[in-house]
Structure 1
Amino acid sequence: MAKKNSFSQMYRRVSGKLLSTFVTPQLLGESGATDKLSTAIKAQELSAAGVAAVVDAENGVTSSQPVCYILQNYSRSNALVLDSETRRLELPPALDSMDSPLLNEDASILFLQQRAQRNNFYPNNYTFPPRLLRLIEALEKNPELDIQLVPVTVLWGRAPEKEESWFRLLVTDSWATPSALKQLVNIGVHGRQTYLEFHEARSLRQMLNEALVKYPNLAPATYIVSNLTEYLAKQREVILGPDLSDRRNVVSGLIQSRDVQNALKQEVIRSNITPAQAEQMAAGYLDEIVSDYSPSSVRVFERGLAWLWTQLYDGVEVHHFQTVRELAEKYEIIYTPCHRSHIDYLLLSYVIYKRGLMIPYIAAGDNLNLPLLGQFLRGGGAFFIRRSFKGLELYSAVLKEYLHSILVRNTPLEYFIEGGRSRTGRLLRPRTGMLAMTIHSKLRGGGKPVVFIPTYFGYERLMEGGTYVGEMQGKPKEAESIFGLIQAARKIERIFGKVHVSFGEPVFLDKMLEQHNADKIRLTSNDQPLPEEASTAVNAVAQEIMQNINRAAVINPVSLLSLVLLSTPKHALDEEVCIKQLDTYRRLAEMAPYDERVEVTSLPGREIIGYGLKLKLIKRVHHVLGDIIAIEDNQAVLLTYFRNNILHLFILPSLIASLVQHNGKITREDINSVIQTLYPFLQAELFLKWQADHLPDVIDHVVEALIGCELIMDDGRETLYSPAPNSESYNQLGVLATPVKQSLERYFMTLALLRQRGSGRVTAKQIEDLSHLLGQRLSVLYEFNSPEFFDKTLFQSFIGALTQLGYIRLDENQVLFFDETLINMADNARLVLDEDTMNHLQHITNFSDDEVIAAIAALEKQKSRRKRSK
């Protein structure tokens, strides 16, 4: 036996050395090997026998137990690669013996499918892994023994099967056990793209007990092999995605589908064309839309993006990805991120791919379907959609059918819930077109249950920053072009700080459909309209996604600096005061966290200032009485973007601070009353997560945190006081109170405008347009043109909230009507705004009918000019 073991070890070393010259395995997992293995196993020198320790993610080392690695298919090369990696990671080596007083196995590896099974065509000839049978027997004889089974996925390349050519079938990572020839080709072709993923360890004893309870009449090995085989197959699909057809076959199959054929017949009648012409039109639409996923393109993306992030950013930090990894096995994943930058979709695909999941197919606007770039993006999973296809019934039919085919095949999907990029840093109102098509598809049946993954991007610098500032100040939106991308590429030498990708609380579609009584609806074709219950569910899902994106926000140094300095009159603070304010905000975020998923920078105030200086966003003005920290010249407008990324996290503390500071003293009851009135409008604007009935508890929690930070005082009799004027705490309270005031001023201005125009004399659109124009005039109050006053959607959300709450109503002509309830709400603004501000707002909203007509005409002329320029 000793000679045999000696020979085996020599064979292993020689074979492993030879294989290592061709193979360079890469670990898949959330953050490399150590993070992924934190829930599996780690080697511990617990005994001379080399017994491994099972490691639990929460409780640490739990027990000393032998380890056995599970591979799906028999392969010597897979075993050698696994053995090499376990040794490199200082894990129990896969090809070393399982030395234990109760076991005598010459290797710690188990193949679910044995070599001898390749020629067996009948299930009855199935042979259980002999080592598994011996391990089960050892457990039955020794009740104190347990063995940890660690499933491992080994991939030679990450390309799903494509029905395209015999060569691709030979070199693609297939679902079947590879032949000797194919494995040699795999080593030669994919040796440098070999991937391993260690999955969570399982207790063999627990699986044995489950088998005995669930299937007492079956051999336990049947259940264990079946369970592990199914698990590894699912993990493989999660990484590779489903088998693919080539693009030509996809287009052909979609045209032949029942729903597209029906749409073709209708198009023939509607457009008075021949069936061949209609089919040619459909093929053209599909050629315009359909992705052309290419593993080789993905590999080029991976390498290029790895270089780009190194050149562009100080690092990419990922938060809460493990949630996604756990869901990918059982759910159809649909990523629904916010949209901050063109970098978003590249960044998200890169993060997903590097952590061992298949990258999603991405719904992209056809404005990105540029020469050369468009084809390259298709190779990375992009499919292109027109911004508007109203009246194009055939286009709508083929798009819906293509989307349905993606979902039925359980291919991950991604689309931006806002539709376009935010120019202000706030979340835009959701565009529900893709969401409605997704829900429509699932009501037709097929595929896994759907889960939406809200995703937050947090940047510290933006490549498009200068463009956004110009657009928010009235310049027309710049169209994407090769020239524009080249211009952006010139900025690569600049440092853009860190970027954060944070995955939010999942939204489960089945649960949302059930809540809105839409779970029993079944649709039979893609031209059926969504029933009312399903349409209601679409809007509810959209709101939930938006709120969950904000729940995953990241408070980074730049956003925190922006929030503090933009809240000061001159955008400057004494350095020591600034440090204390930053530390107070961090403390407040930790004492009264908005959500458990919110990430807060670990840098203290002094280091945050150093970080801002490094990025050249702020400057230090030296002074004999103490240095001053100020926003760099021409950076104030841009920094509003980063402030707005986290504004929702501090809006409730800001509102409470504003009430206490403005009134000097105020009862808790009055604070609750005012916030209950204002909250629906802030919630509509900032997608806040709390329901109205939870507000009292939330308010109490925030108040206690403000007291703990010594920003307000409590007399013990339900009355809150502001600190003494001109004290350090009073000044800190004033800075905290500022962020909410711009929203309150916009609300009061719109209310004053409604009051001045009168009930029944103006339409909703006219009020939105006038409020937008007045908002730009209101910016004169400030030292720079804040984008807040140029964002028309903020006024639209306020009018929408007023309508929903019953303060105003619309007739069939969209004319606004209201009563004294609205007037009384405007009068109550004195609790939150000072007299000078209210008088100014009332003054600028006071103009004649002729002035209104002239202003609206000028606005329409401006819109017409912009359309012609496009």
Structure 2
Amino acid sequence: GGRSRTGRTLTPKAGMLAMTLRSYLRDSRKPITLIPVYTGYEKVFEERSYLGELRGQAKKKESLLGTLSTVRSLRKPYGRVRVTFGDPIHLSEYLDQQHPGWLQESYDDCAFRPDWAPVVTERLATRVTTEINKAASVNPINLVAFAILSTPRQAMDEKQLIQRMEAYHTLLANAPYSHLTTLPSGNGQDWLAHAESLESVSRSSHPMGDLIQTNDRQAVTLTYYRNNILHIFALPALLACLIVNQRRCSEDCIRASCRILYPFLKAELFLYWDKDDLDNQITLWLETLIRQGYIAVDEDSFHINPDNPVAELHMEGLAEHMMQTLQRYFLTLSRLTHQDSGQLTPAQLEEQSTQLAQRISLLYGINAPEFFDKALFRTLIQRLVTEGMVRECKEHGTLLFSEELEPLTEVLERTLNSQLRQTILNSL
């Protein structure tokens, strides 16, 4: 598993696992255990080159001057690196689950490449990546990024920023993503001071209270650290989207909407809950949001708590991080259904959706490179096919759709801002 230049978890490459599996089928006397390892950075060493590549610059080749520049860069502060280990995956046990009887089969005739191996290898790669995310460690820079990037201009009053970081920290403490998830010690003031020492944010003095803000470079760079922990906040952020934008939302509506959207979020963010676990997680998060005073419920209708003056701001902040993902989904479906069924290939839909996303990001000032990341559109299209909402025509290679797409479209229409939806539709 690895990360893209935007900080998101990449679709795993299974080549090394395929070789490991082939070797194990040849000789399984020595047991093999895979250990997922999560590495959490506060400041990535290649930050500047990442920024250039996100803006379209070609990847620079290594050179002597580049090496000297790297040595000089070592003098700068880079914060701390936290390494955490996930639950081990014992290969024999995993194969017993995926292909019972594998140990009794002979693989000489197929050169230890049985027909079932590619599918099992892909599943194993996804499992390893999911377990890496499950062991995520949250650091101060993650929290600063998550709080400040939810604002329209990526700037906040110092006290409000500290309050919001501590609120998100409390949320994760009360409803941990997994038993392996760790949180930073200290308080919001400590975390902000640490972020300033790493030049992750800037301070502007003001008689009415200091402002913490970001320039363009800092804002784009912080998306990397925000995206590192986006999967941890995915479900509460989705619940916030549903409640904030619909104002009042029944429990049945919340659960139905989450069930429709979850397979796509699971594929994109490598979430570890199965569909059977999802209902329990929804219950846990609704109870947590009620307990912290962000939402209230009456007559089976959830809404923002009117008695808490900061509830709406915190919920809107949570929702903002999931909103761009849902916007990408709506944009892709709109592009697909704008023409008749069977007109676009997956590659064409991916390219046209990317171009449309770039246009929308310019119109709305969305300063987040992953909004028009081709890989995310590719993952979405593949999941639409997997879920049976879209079929690929074998003869022409085009995408066929029908009423199976309607439930997803309806959820997105209910959840997203009407003005943005109209802008997307007008841009088709």
Provide TM-score, normalisation by structure 2: 0.95
String of CA shifts for 1:651-687, please: whole Å, max 9, x gaps: 1101101111111111111100000000000011000
| C-alpha distance in structure 2 between counterparts of 1:646 and 1:739, whole Å | 11
Q: Does 1:651 align with 2:234?
A: yes
Pair 1:671-2:230 in alignment: no
Pair 1:524-2:108 in alignment: yes
For the residues of structure 2 that align with 1:548 and 1:496, how far apart are their CA atoms? 26
1:796–1:490 Cα change, 3 Å: same
- After superposition, the Cα gap between the structure-2 partners of 1:781 and 1:652, relative to the gap in structure 1 and judged at 3 Å, is farther
1:617 partnered with 2:211 = no
2:6 match: 424
Match of 2:404 among 821, 829, 832: 821
CA contact 2:293–2:311 (8 Å) conserved in 1: yes
Query: What are structure 2's unaligned runs of at least 5 residues?
Result: none
Candidates 716, 735, 755, aligned match of 2:317: 735
> Are the aligned partners of 1:516 and 1:536 in contact in 2 as well (CA < 8 Å)?
no
8 Å contact kept, 1:507–1:541: no
- Give 1:722 deviation, angstroms: 1.0
Offset from partner CA, 1:803-829 (integer Å, 9 cap, x none)? 000011112242111102214422332
Aligned-residue offset at 1:601: 0.5
Question: Which structure has the bigger radius of gyration?
Answer: 1
Gaps of at least 5 residues in structure 1 are 1-337, 341-421, 847-870
Residues 712-763 of structure 1, C-alpha deviation per residue, up to 9 Å, x if partnerless?
1122x43211133993221111111110001000000000000112211110
* CA drift at 1:535: 2.0
Q: Is the 8 A contact 2:328 2:357 kept in 1?
A: yes
C-alpha distance in 2, partners of 1:808/1:633?
A: 38
Partner of 2:119: 536
Q: How many residues align?
A: 425
Does residue 795 (structure 1) correspond to residue 377 (structure 2)? The answer is: yes
Deviations 1:293-317 (A, max 9, x none): xxxxxxxxxxxxxxxxxxxxxxxxx
Mapping of residues 170-185 of structure 1, within 5 Å: none
Do the aligned residues in 1 keep the contact of 2:342 with 2:393 (CA within 8 Å)?
no
1:630 maps to which of 191, 213, 220: 213
1:120-269, aligned counterparts within 5 Å? none
Quick check: 1:724 aligned with 2:306?
Answer: yes
Determine the C-alpha separation between the residues in 1 that align with 2:352 and 2:64: 37
Instruction: Specify the SS of the correspondent of 1:689.
Output: coil
CA contact (8 A) 1:472 1:790 kept: no
Write out per-residue CA displacement over residues 788-811 of structure 1, whole angstroms, 9 at most, x where no aligned residue.
Answer: 134211001100110000011112
Secondary structure in structure 1 of the residue aligned to 2:23:
helix
Amino acid at match of 1:524: D
Aligned to 2:35: 453
Structure-1 residue corresponding to 2:17: 435
Distance 1:482 1:444 in 2: 44
Deviation, structure 1 residue 690: 0.3
Cα shift at 1:537: 1.4
Q: CA deviation at 1:595?
A: 0.4
Alpha-carbon distance change, 610 to 726 in structure 1, aligned in 2, over 3 angstroms: same
**2:86 touches 2:135 (CA, 8 Å); kept in 1?**
yes
1:570 aligned partner, one-letter code:
R
SS in 2 for 1:757: coil
Distance 2:92 2:65 in 1: 45
Superposed displacement of residue 782, structure 1: 4.3
Partners of 1:613 and 1:667 in 2: how far apart?
A: 42
Of 523, 536, 545, 2:128 maps to 545
Read off the aligned partner of 1:660 and give its amino acid letter.
Answer: I
SS at match of 2:77: coil
The alignment-based identity, stated in percent, is 36
The CA distance in 1 between the partners of 2:405 and 2:138, in whole Å, is: 36
Structure 2 residue 102 is matched with structure 1 residue 513: no
Cross-structure match for 1:833: 416
Q: Which runs of 4+ in 1 moved over 4 A?
A: none
Contact 1:750 1:771 in 2 (8 A): yes
Q: Would the alpha carbon gap of residues 788 and 633 (structure 1) be closer, same or farther in structure 2, given more than 3 Å must change?
A: closer
Q: Greater RCO between the two (CA within 8 Å, min separation 6)? A: 2
Distance in 1 of aligned mates of 2:61 and 2:328: 30
Distance 1:453 1:517 in 2: 21
TM-score normalised per structure 1: 0.48
Contact 2:140 2:195 in 1 (8 A): yes
Match of 1:487 among 57, 69, 74: 69
Q: Deviation per CA, 1:142-188: give whole Å up to 9, x if none.
A: xxxxxxxxxxxxxxxxxxxxxxxxxxxxxxxxxxxxxxxxxxxxxxx
Alignment of 1:776-791 (within 5 A): 776-783=358-365, 785-791=367-373
Report if aligned partners of 2:26, 2:112 keep a CA contact under 8 Å in 1: no
Q: Aligned AA for 1:517?
A: H
Shift in alpha-carbon separation, 1:830–1:627, aligned structure 2, 3 A: same
Deviation at 1:447, TM superposition (A): 4.6
Distance in 1 of aligned mates of 2:152 and 2:169:
22
Tell whether 2:234 aligns with 1:680.
no
For residue 558 of structure 1, what is the aligned residue in structure 2? 141
Cα-to-partner distance string for 1:492-522 (whole Å, 9 max, x where unaligned):
1100111111111111111221112152344
SS at match of 2:9: coil
Partner amino acid, structure 1, of 2:320? T
In the aligned structure 2, how far is the partner of 1:479 from the partner of 1:803?
38
Task: Report the CA distance between 1:629 and its aligned residue.
Answer: 1.6
Q: In the aligned structure 1, how far is the partner of 2:192 from the partner of 2:357?
A: 32
Contact 1:636 1:784 in 2 (8 A): no
Query: Counterpart in 2 of 1:588?
Result: 171
2:345 and 2:181 map into 1 onto residues whose CA distance is 40
For residues 402-458 of structure 1, what are the alpha-carbon distances to aligned partners after superposition, in whole Å with 9 as ceiling and x for unaligned? xxxxxxxxxxxxxxxxxxxx2111110011111111101100114511111111111
One-letter amino acid of the counterpart of residue 580, structure 1: Q
* 2:380 paired with 1:807: no
RMSD: 1.8
Question: In the superposition, relative to structure 1, how do residues 443 and 614 fare at CA in structure 2: closer, same or farther (>3 Å)?
Answer: same
Displacement of 1:471 in angstroms is 1.4
How big is the shift at 1:580?
1.2
SS at match of 2:82: strand
CA distance in 1, matches of 2:32, 2:249: 48
Q: Deviations over 1:352-406 (max 9, x none)?
A: xxxxxxxxxxxxxxxxxxxxxxxxxxxxxxxxxxxxxxxxxxxxxxxxxxxxxxx
